[in-house]
Structure 1
Amino acid sequence: MTHPNSLDHATTLLELDKQVCFGLVVAARGIVSLYKPILEPLGLTHPQYLVMLALWQHDRLSVKDLSSLLQLDPGTLSPLLKRLETAGLLRRARDQHDERLLAVSLTDAGTELRKQALQIPPAVMKQLEMTAEELEHLRDILNRVISATS
């Protein structure tokens, strides 16, 4: 015979607001929405911002390495790169050392945009009403989740 409390516990485990997957999906949508008005003055979408972050950090990357770094398939990445190139923020060219690879690098305008982007993290912290330490802790936990699911 099943103990009544164990049935209550099992039911609680299946409540929507107790699900990690639900919390992550809702939080991810909320975060992307939060970034939208912050990124609009820079002329960037959230996925384009992620590309720019990678290039600001590494300056020059192959499309293959960028795809791996952002965990995006090349088919998704290619239109993002095309739009950023059209906007004058990056250039794509065959790698000088390996003609089979397509390299992505920042233009002067792309490098210059980094100065404006420095305002983004503080604006996000303000909107979330969270400290840098809280966001670092959250990022560390999310990185553990990413590692466990990759």
Structure 2
Amino acid sequence: MMESRGFPFISVARRFPDRPAVRLGERTVRYRELDELSGALAARIAPGRTVAVTGRDRLDHLVGLLAALRAGATYLPLDREAPEERNRWIREDAGATLALTDGELTGELTGDPTGEPAGEPAGESAADLPDEPPATAGYLIYTSGTTGRPKGVH
């Protein structure tokens, strides 16, 4: 098995699939499950896209982050408690073309009702994903905007 230097999560998940990866309250998520969830989602995301992630479940955010990185996309976390106007402005400013909300990936930001990402997805399935994801910005976070408009920082 080739060691993934650029994305250690894959190496760790494949080497220790039954070890706990994260504990969320009473729930323990093992590396195998996290690998499967993020891989299945990453296969549906086209490289170079920005994925706005919001939801009630903290696991959604973790899976969204890992999936975006695996697909060569950018993860854009949004605060569910923030006013919708702020989140809409951030999505537009960031050029987000996909949304992951409560575990559902949609192409609603591109006007595509099928939920399919614009461009070529990362793979037909999680098995088609490369062990070494393409290099991208990875993470885009917006400032609070207390001194004016929020600013995106990579």
TM-score normalized by structure 2?
A: 0.25
TM-score normalized by structure 1?
A: 0.25
Higher normalized contact order (CA 8 Å, seq sep 6+, divided by chain length): 2
Point out the structure with max Rg over C-alpha.
Answer: 1
Q: Which has the higher strand share?
A: 2
